[in-house]
Structures are given as structure tokens and as C-alpha cells.
Structure 1
């Protein structure tokens, strides 16, 4: 049974072993969601990296701006799928379903965002995010012009870039560590 498998191939400290600030953050997440997402536990064995990872995550994902929180999650789901990151597709798919208030959207975006029930603006956003994720060296002025024609400004373009790049790192760490999605994520936001 998958619940019996380890959540990471690397050490996972107990809550009691964690520095106070990390334990308090994890307990706050547990209080809000009803469980501890495995990413928090898996990264806690490297406290300085945990703090840096979540500081950048929060700066990208929780900020106000022209990208909605659901659109930010779309970027994560689409790029994590192409990077074959089970953890991020499942966990952020759950968050996307909740933020978009749509039980179908995460599966559509993960499987093939080009066929998903999204706006042309969102499709252009994901086209760019995928290019950043897979072939950033090819990004050029025509890509920026396409985004601007859909109403994205320079800050939006930076955010799309940052999210795609940050989750490329996250996807690789999750894949190498064998990080497992919590079972709770699979049912969240499905109705």
C-alpha cells in the first residue's frame, strides 16, 4: 500500500527534531489543511534550504498581481506534468481545483493544456511557461509580444518565468528524492 512507502529517500526528521520556526510553520499548515503536505516534511532535513525554498515559493505564489492564484497554479501543473513530477502535479492539481472552483481543470491542464477549458490568455501564458520550462534559451522578443497582446505586462512575464523556473527546480528535487504526494491531495477539490 502506498501509505506505507517512505515519503522521501532522504531523512525525514520528526517534528520534535525541527527548528522552532520550521515546526511552527508546518503546524500552521497542518492546522489549516488538516494534514502535513509531504513536501514540508521532506525538505525539513535541510533547514536553511527549507527556509529559502518556502520564502521564494511564497514570494511567487502568494503575491498580488495580474495573475490569479489559480493561473499561478495552472503554470505549476502544466510545467510539472512535462517535467514528470508526480508530487507537484497531484498536490498543485488539488490546489488548482480549489482555487479555480473547477473539479475538471487540473486534469485537463495536466494532460494537455492546449485542449483544456481555459481562455486564450491562459493558453498563451502556459505556452510561454512551457517554453521557459523546456527551452528557455529560445525565448525571444516574439514571445514577449505575444504575451503583451494578451494583456500581460513586464511584471506578469517575470512572474510566469519565475514560477516555471522555480518549479523546474522543485520538480527535480521531488523526482530525485522520490517525494510521494499525500493521499489527501487526490480527492481535494473534486466536488
Structure 2
């Protein structure tokens, strides 16, 4: 049971964003820009960052949601699982491994991002913007993970829920659904 009264048909972050639509608007906009906006990183790669950070923060809702989105965007379900297990041996590019290392440092403590890790990312082909966006995505998902778990939102256990949520994330993005979420009531 959540620590504050939330709509029962809106588990996880969605219920929290509906609870405070005024504070949700800029968060949603930033998330949309970072994960769906123009970037040299694919949407799938950006979802891998969100999944890795959420997994390392042990946020079950966010991990499941962004794993589902990453799987859809990547067209398969192996890579994201391997990234969460050990990104250094996962089947992603050296550039992506270096960016995931930076994301992992941010998740643990932003001060762990060192000049050496930045140079490694640059030497692996990462641009300044990709490094910037990786750090910001990782920081944003630390916020989301703590927001979801700190208010003890409902975390569904049905994998079908996350498949549908992943589909909504990949088709609508992070914008609020036009007209809200009443259509999700059962």
C-alpha cells in the first residue's frame, strides 16, 4: 500500500505523476526530451541506461517498465538482461559500455565519475553530448526510482502489465495521455 492515497489503477510512477500534475509536467517534458528527443544515441540505448540505473537502485517497477521498453525498441529481450547482469560483457558497443559505466557511477555517487571514465568514453567514440545526456538520464532515473519506492507505490507482478506499459512508453513516450488515464480503469 502506498504511503499516500493514489489512484489504484495507476501503479508506479504514473500514479505519482497524476497526483501532482503541476510538478509532473516539467519532469515528463525532461524525460521526453532525454529519452525520445533528438540524439545520436538510439532510443533503445537510452532505455538501456534507464534500465541499468533502475536495476542497480533495485526499483522493481522502473526496472520492469524500462526493460520492457528497451526490449521493444531493440527488437529482442536478451541485451537488456545482459546489460543489467554485467554491462561490461554485454553485447553492446565499446562506446555504450563506457557510457553505461558512467551511468553506473552516477547511480552510485556522481562524484565517482572521474576524468578517466570520461576520457575512456571519449576514446570509445562518445561525444560530449552523449556523456552529458547519459549523466542526466542516470540522475533522472535515480530521482524516479527514489520517488516510486520512497512513496511505496504499487508494483504489479504481472509481466503482461509491463509489456503493455512498454508499448505505451515506446508509442506515446513520456507525455501524459490526452484526456488522462481513466481508460486504464478496469
Same fold (TM over 0.5): yes
Residues 98 and 117, structure 2, Cα contact 8 Å, conserved in 1: no
* Counterpart-to-counterpart distance in 1, 2:44 and 2:27: 20
Distance 1:80 1:162, change over 3 A: same
2:61 to 79, 87, 91: 87
Q: Select the structure with the greater relative contact order (CA < 8 A; seq sep ≥ 6).
A: 2
The runs of 4+ residues in structure 1 deviating greater than 6 Å are none
More off after superposition, 115-124 vs 169-178 = 115-124
More off after superposition, 157-166 vs 111-120 = 111-120
Distance 1:108 1:186, change over 3 A: farther
CA displacement at 1:43 relative to structure 2:
2.2
1:10 aligns with 2:10: no
Q: Deviations over 1:116-161 (max 9, x none)?
A: 2222221111011111121211323222211111111111111001
Distance 1:115 1:37, change over 3 A: farther
Partner of 2:37: 63
State the TM-score, normalized to the length of structure 2.
0.78
| Counterpart secondary structure, 2:19 | coil
Number of equivalenced pairs: 163
* Counterpart-to-counterpart distance in 2, 1:144 and 1:111: 23
1:96 to 70, 86, 100: 70
Partner of 1:131: 105
Unaligned ranges ≥5, structure 1 = 1-5, 16-35
CA radius of gyration, larger in:
1
